[in-house]
Chains A and B, each alone.
Chain A
Amino acid sequence: MLRIAAFVGLLATSLLAQTPAAGTLAGKVTDPAGAVVANATVTATNIDSGQTRTATSGADGSYQVPGLPPGSYRVKIEAAGFKPLEIASATIGSAQTVVDGKLEPGTSIPSLGDLGFTPDQTQGSAQDQARLDKRSHMLKTHQRLGLITTAPLVATLFLANGAAGHNSTSSSRDLHAILGGVTAGMYLTTASFAIFAPKIAGTPTRGPIRVHKALAWIHGPGMILTPILGSLALAQKDKGEKVHGIASAHGAVAGVTAAAYGAAMLSVMIKF
């Protein structure tokens, strides 16, 4: 028991030791004569994540931005009646980093802070960006796989005649069935990249993508139904029977599925 407690203690200590401590950006804002500048807005932007933090200089011109994760920051200091001052890169460690700003007088230049955006609108989120990146990556894969799937799909359709007629051979039926299986497998993989791509809340679906998504309700069930009906038809043919019952819908369902799939691809290629 003691050993477990000691292990947990060591693990916690090691985890804590790996978490970098937050640093503080601090300094004093002055004019060229050395007089303090109060109410200056200091914006620290993390160069990697884009996250911003702001502070305002006090009556003595000093400011403090605490709780900054270590990294490189762009620091912008703005005050009415002065030119904005931008420090391209300041490295924040775990201790306090001092960045003083000497502002040059200038014409009043409007700044983003004057425009009345809410903090939600101005502050970046690395997490949201990562979500968008993942979504985009998955949809790109969806698009590429979708294009590749067209090849076995067309080949399966091309071989359909040889597999269906009175004079069809067992090998032509098998080839058609194998290609159909490859198409269905690739199709399901393609679809999974779109289905599991992260959703972005509050985004309505507008434009050609609506048509693209609507067509999935036709080719999706079609891609499941076609191989099922195909295997029924194949079993009947192998017994030397004429394709009958529900299996006789295989060709029609496959045709509608392929047409819907083609239309879905065209819907994102052609602007309308």
Chain B
Amino acid sequence: MKRTILAAFLALASLGAADGQWVLASSTLSYHVSHPLHQSEGVSHQAKGKGVCQAGQCNFLIAVPVKSFASGDTNRDLHMVQVTRGAQFPLVSVRVSLPEAALTMPAIHCDVEIEFAGQTAKYKDVALQAATKGNETRITGTIPATLSDFKIDPPSLLSIPVKNEMPVRLDMTWRPQ
């Protein structure tokens, strides 16, 4: 009887250890837009995030102020905030859901949800890469987002619009809390 109680206790303790919260150690979120005259990339390092793993399922959420993206040209950045309605919807958030076991694999496929410009776009089976070093896990990858996913009218330079494709590059490093 004592052994059974002990075994049950150990099993519960083990489950408890698997669950937990993750804090964001560092992150880079960037978008890429193409124009016949320009290729530009806006980068933000100002993400805040939280990860929660429970019952074998992990949810990672990061959010970035839209106006924190920098492309090296402040005029273009302000224009980006305008076309993406960044003053009305000031945050862009990325939510990654994946099985906890996937964190130990180098290549993972997961569901990603991006909330941006007042719209939510869901991407199924996105290929990301995970690498664990010490107690930190780095998740990287590119989400095949488009401007139309968020009902954004393509901005134009000299009356030529940018391409609809706007891949979003995700690079986030997490450590257990």
CB contacts (< 8 Å) of A165 on chain B: these are: none
User: Which of the segments B4-12, B71-79, B127-135 contacts the partner chain?
Assistant: B71-79
Q: How far is the CA of A108 from the CA of B58 in the complex (A)?
A: 9
Q: How far is the CA of A187 from the CA of B47 in the complex (A)?
A: 43
Q: How far is the CA of A89 from the CA of B75 in the complex (A)?
A: 35
CB contacts (< 8 Å) of A126 on chain B: these are: 87-88
The total of chain B residues at the interface (CB under 8 A) is 40
Q: Which of B54, B72, B88 contacts A129 (CB 8 A)?
A: B88
Q: A129-B85, A209-B74 are in contact. Are A115 and B48 (CB under 8 A)?
A: yes
Chain A 8-30, CB-CB to B under 8 Å as 1, else 0, gives 00000000000000000000000
Q: Which of B67-122 contact A (CB under 8 A)?
A: 71-76, 78-79, 81-83, 85-91, 93, 118
B59 contacts chain A at the CB level, 8 A cutoff? yes
The answer to whether B76 and A128 have CB atoms under 8 Å apart is no
Chain A 110-143, CB-CB to B under 8 Å as 1, else 0, gives 1110111100011111101101110110010001
* Chain A residues within CB distance 8 Å of chain B: 47, 49-51, 107-112, 114-117, 121-126, 128-129, 131-133, 135-136, 139, 143-144, 147, 200, 203-209, 268-271
The answer to whether B88 and A207 have CB atoms under 8 Å apart is no
- Besides A139-B75, A139-B79, 8 more A-B contacts (Cβ < 8 Å) are A47-B118, A50-B88, A107-B59, A108-B54, A112-B91, A126-B87, A131-B87, A207-B75
CB contacts (< 8 Å) of A271 on chain B: these are: 37-40
Q: Which of B37, B61, B72, B79 contacts A115 (CB 8 A)?
A: B61
Q: Which of A50, A206, A207, A269 contacts B85 (CB 8 A)?
A: A50
Listed A/B pairs (30) with beta-carbon separation below 8 Å: A51-B88, A107-B52, A107-B54, A109-B59, A110-B49, A110-B61, A114-B50, A115-B48, A115-B61, A117-B48, A121-B91, A124-B87, A129-B82, A131-B87, A132-B78, A132-B82, A135-B78, A135-B82, A136-B82, A139-B79, A144-B159, A147-B159, A205-B74, A206-B72, A206-B74, A207-B72, A207-B74, A209-B73, A268-B157, A271-B39
Q: How far is the CA of A107 from the CA of B79 in the complex (A)?
A: 39
CB contacts (< 8 Å) of B86 on chain A: these are: 129, 132
Q: A128-B87, A143-B158 are in contact. Are A110 and B51 (CB under 8 A)?
A: yes
* Chain B residues within CB distance 8 Å of chain A: 37-40, 48-52, 54-55, 57, 59-61, 63, 65, 71-76, 78-79, 81-83, 85-91, 93, 118, 157-159
The answer to whether B50 and A115 have CB atoms under 8 Å apart is yes
Q: How far is the CA of A2 from the CA of B24 in the complex (A)?
A: 69
Q: A135-B78, A206-B74, A207-B72 are in contact. Are A123 and B90 (CB under 8 A)?
A: yes
Closest to A46 in B: B88
Q: Which of A49, A203, A270 contacts B37 (CB 8 A)?
A: A270
Closest to B85 in A: A129
The answer to whether A124 and B72 have CB atoms under 8 Å apart is no
Q: A110-B51, A112-B93 are in contact. Are A117 and B63 (CB under 8 A)?
A: yes
Closest to A136 in B: B82
